[in-house]
Amino acid sequence: MPELPEVETVRMGLLPVMEGRVIETAQVNREGLRWPFPPQMAQRLTGARVLGLRRRSKYILGDLDTGETLLIHLGMSGRMLISGAMLGAFHHDHPAPQKHDHVVLMMEGGARVTFNDARRFGAMDLMATGAAEAHPLLAPLGPEPLGNGFSESYLAGRLAGKATPVKSALLDQHIVAGLGNIYVCEVLHRAGISPLRLARDLTSQEAARLVPLIREVLAEAIAAGGSSLRDYRQADGELGYFQHNFRVYDREGAPCPTPGCPGTILRTVQAGRSSFHCPDCQR
């Protein structure tokens, strides 16, 4: 599933063709994806101007001049694909319609934005902009890891006394929004903390040290266009490149990249997810 860097990369890719522009025509090709689409979604989107595109956790939010906000979640395999526009130095012509093109937005200026989702775990919804933060998918979320509400004292306080592995705690969207399996593995390796340690056993200094490392890893991943492992693509169809910088994720059996460490990357399963870490330098 795309994590925060991938979603932020998609949002930035959509900005030039969506922000400030009118959705001239919206075409909805099915009744829903993971959940049903809102009633009359095509009619409610057609003619609306996109005032801004923002991100909350792993959701893209498009604020419209109709007083509504379009919520987009990419799910496991969802892609927002742009055609008919100049993206960088290249013009992407409109491709032939595909089987899994579920929502198509024809934008002012000639661009087409297509929500393609082969596995159909994605979602779209419309809600009143003023009540967006109360939406059931957004209301329970913790602070953004790149925002001011996510601080060393906040994280140390949330981890204190928590009898779950630190990796599970960092994946808890109620504690911090947007982190996923890939980037938590990478953060914990940089911090020298085993994903198997209980959150309550971290010192306040160790917990605090995680905050700048989380921001560092996310910033590097965004700059690289995210990580492409299976389905993820940027809005222009290009791959992300951060997977080439993985230190531990999906590197089982490889030597630890920490200078001077003789360890080998191990894979363990926690709560049904693969964890990758070096047992020698992550304690």
Determine the Cα–Cα distance for residues 223 and 235; give it in Å rounded to an integer: 15
Determine the Cα–Cα distance for residues 276 and 182; give it in Å rounded to an integer: 9
Report which of 157, 182, 156 is spatially closest to residue 171, judged by C-alpha positions: 182
* Residue 230 designated active-site: no
Specify whether the CB–CB gap between 177 and 141 falls below 8 A.
Answer: yes
258 phi and psi angles, rounded to 5 deg: -65, 125
State the catalytic residue, choosing from 3, 6, 8, 186. Answer: 3
135 phi and psi angles, rounded to 5 deg: -60, 140
State the catalytic residue, choosing from 2, 5, 165, 195. Answer: 2
Q: What is the 3-state secondary structure of 101-125? A: EEEEEEECCCCEEEEECCCCCCEEE
State the catalytic residue, choosing from 34, 197, 267, 273. Answer: 273
* Exposure class string for 228-249: b at 16+ Cβ within 10 A, else e: beebbbbbbeeebebbeebbbb
Cβ neighbours around 49 below 10 Å, total: 15
């919520």: which residue's tokens?
71
* Residue 6 designated active-site: no
- 90-97 contacts: CB < 8 A, separation 24 or more? 90/236, 92/236, 92/237
State the catalytic residue, choosing from 56, 58, 79, 158. Answer: 58
- The CA-atom distances, in angstroms, between 271 and each of 121, 137, 217 are 20, 22, 23
* Residue 247 designated active-site: no
Any idea which residues carry the catalytic annotation? 2-3, 58, 273
